[in-house]
Structure 1
Amino acid sequence: LFQKTAFKDRCALVTSYNPQARDITLEDTGANTETEKESIYNIYIALLKDVVAEPSKTKTETYEDKVKELFKTQPANMRLLIVVDKLLTGFDAPPCTYLYIDKSMQDHGLFQAICRTNRLDGEDKPFGYIVDYKDLFKKVQGAMAVYTSELDHTGGESPEILLQDRLKKGKERLDQALESMALLCEPVQPPRGELEHIHYFCGNTELVDDLKEHEPQRVALYKSTAALMRAYASIADDLPDAGYTEAQVAGINGDLNSYLKLREIIRQASGETIDLKAYEADMRHLIDTYIEADEPRKISDFGEIGLLDLIVKSGIADAINSLPKGIKGDKRAVAETIANNVRSKVIKERLSDPAYYDKMSALLNEVLADLKAQRISYEEFLKRIAEIAKNVQAGKSDETPAKLNTPAKRALFNNLNGNEELALKIDGTVRQVKPNAFRGNQAKENVIKAALMGLLGNDPDEVERVFLIITAQKEY
């Protein structure tokens, strides 16, 4: 049933059952219907159809280990586990937020079950939820009383274990999340438009290190927005019952929309287009469900492609047109967004080729200074920044010699004063002598350094400098 809903490929079954052909050999009644045993067997066979058993494991064990790991580490990609008589002990999954109970339980077993949701998982999970289909509330209180009575209370305060009202706690959580977002954005300078927010969260594009130094503000924004979205989603269908008036609900919806748009603008303006990976699908689902249910959309208009890729593949005009409305309508915001995306790429790749990316950074500073001083027009700026973006994304310029056909060869060439012959010799030598898994192993690293010594004039400092570039190359 769940495979026909939004849970398709994101839910799994974990039980003690392991399908065997003998389970159904005596089940054929001749009727055109499945018996219960046949139904269970066929469900499991369908679940395990594409599973390849790992060494020393059955297909069922392989399947269960995989889905449990996904549930713990990628909750957006495994959102629901249906469990029968398993995982009460030895299973720790902090992302688990909801427990649905449809089985009569009591005492220690019941307490173990409800404890599956009590692990904190970051700032946006202060507590877990229990959905009880068996009217076990009094039994839960009893199980907790038994548990706390067995604890040693000497030398400290009594433990406080509480069952609390979902809507009351949900309202507190949502109010706190809204307040946190307001406080986070409070330092933004008037008139508090998109450009002012870009300045606060991304810094000054003319300062080389400013984008990196403003990273804590951006991280706080992303985390706070996710916390707000999840706080809202937990009581979205019950806002009036939680105590909000109609006007307050409208205000909350408006604030949430504004913060989500701001999150997107800052992500694009900073070049951080890949967001949270495993959790991104979860954010898409929440936004499409509660914010734009009529028009589902991706979190990012770019999907998996970044702004620099768009500039290279589609041209500067199409790339600008793909930016959020709050950016593309402001020339300064466009300029700073493209500059920040270039700067972000330079920072990320610099260790692999310091000379080349330092040159690109200098060109970026130059074109920004020319634009600010009005020595060039906005159109000329776009033309020049597009060329820089293309070279930064490619990791090479059009003048690069043809023989330098790998990133490693180009990095050596750029950092050896353009000495093509020496770059090719060093590349060949490294490929010939490098031991497997040499990084971090002093003895293996020394093998490469010894081979470089003669090529670099027996200069230990130069060997160390070039070796750092070599270790940054993925192809070695």
Structure 2
Amino acid sequence: MMKTEREVQNQVIETFKSMGYAYLGDLTKSDNENINKESLKAWLIKNQKIEPERWHKIEHEIHDALKNDLYEANQTFYNLLIYGVKTKTSQNENMQTHWLIDWKDVSQNEFSVAEEVSVKGPNMKRPDIVLYINGIALGVLELKKSSVSVESGIRQNLDNQKKEFIRDFFKTIQLVMAGNESQGLRYGVIETEEKYYLSWKEEGVQKNLFETIECFLDKERFLEFIHDFLIFDKGQKKCARFHQYFAIKKTQEFIQRKEGGIIWHTQGSGKSLTMVWLTQWLRRNIQQARILIVTDRRELDAQIQGVFSGIGENLYRADSKKDLLSVLFENKEFLVGSLVHKFDDNDLEDLKKQYIKTYYA
């Protein structure tokens, strides 16, 4: 027998509870915001021993981050999540960094789930499921019964982000999702168009709503996906497809063993963005990392430079063989682009005889 939407939602809630998410209840009758300030404050006091004056500074920085429209606010708040909130309580004090999420130890964070979360806006809306970390709303999930398409849930998410509804609520949201039992889970980010919502596929996992939730929204992976697999690209927020995620994870293993390898891609599978996410991971995790991107066409070289420029990364394009060798040996530029034609067999032999300081490719 086909489950009702209520029955699907009940099972989803039970799935999250079994994964260790605390259940906050049905919030239909309460007026909810995207940050439960008391929960966040309590977590910061417990985990970072902040004092009341410090909390007011943190609260002010968060308020400032969220005052712009959706895209700009979401990007600014994301930077607070990733790089911490910087405060000082006096002129003589050095700037202090306070983390809204403990990225290093998943167990130190408080994961919770609520249903029927009423949110006031020009017109009230009530997302089916909201996921919180340390009191911050980071995920939204709309659910449908099997006879109603998952696309209907996606359109509901898009409607909720309109100015006449609860657009401001999405300023902290990192994953926007919809699902039903017959089609499984779809995911995107703020303002992702319906046709660009993604499916999650994983070896050994059926295309099942509940199994997909268990693997994709596992606490550790949920945090990792937010930290390492989202970007803001020239006015558009983007997230990784499943094959990009697993390719990058496998590449990380090879890099940590100081081994090389090849990622096989097809046309249109997101090679440039895979490079971007891997580059960001290298910058954050490998000390003194340097990257050389070699292409075979000037147009592609320029295109890749544009992709990196769109996310705020400066790619230095070597304009000659001499310039390329110079920039590699000077160890100044983090990210270097070159055409393959600048290399020949003699160059490779020369490079083998010399030492390029702390170089990853």
Question: Could you say which TM-score interval applies, normalised by the shorter chain?
Answer: under 0.3
- Normalized per residue, the structure richer in strand is 2
Q: Which has the higher contact order (CA 8 A, sep 6+)?
A: 2
Between Structure 1 and Structure 2, the one with more helix by share is 1
Q: TM-score, normalised by structure 2?
A: 0.28
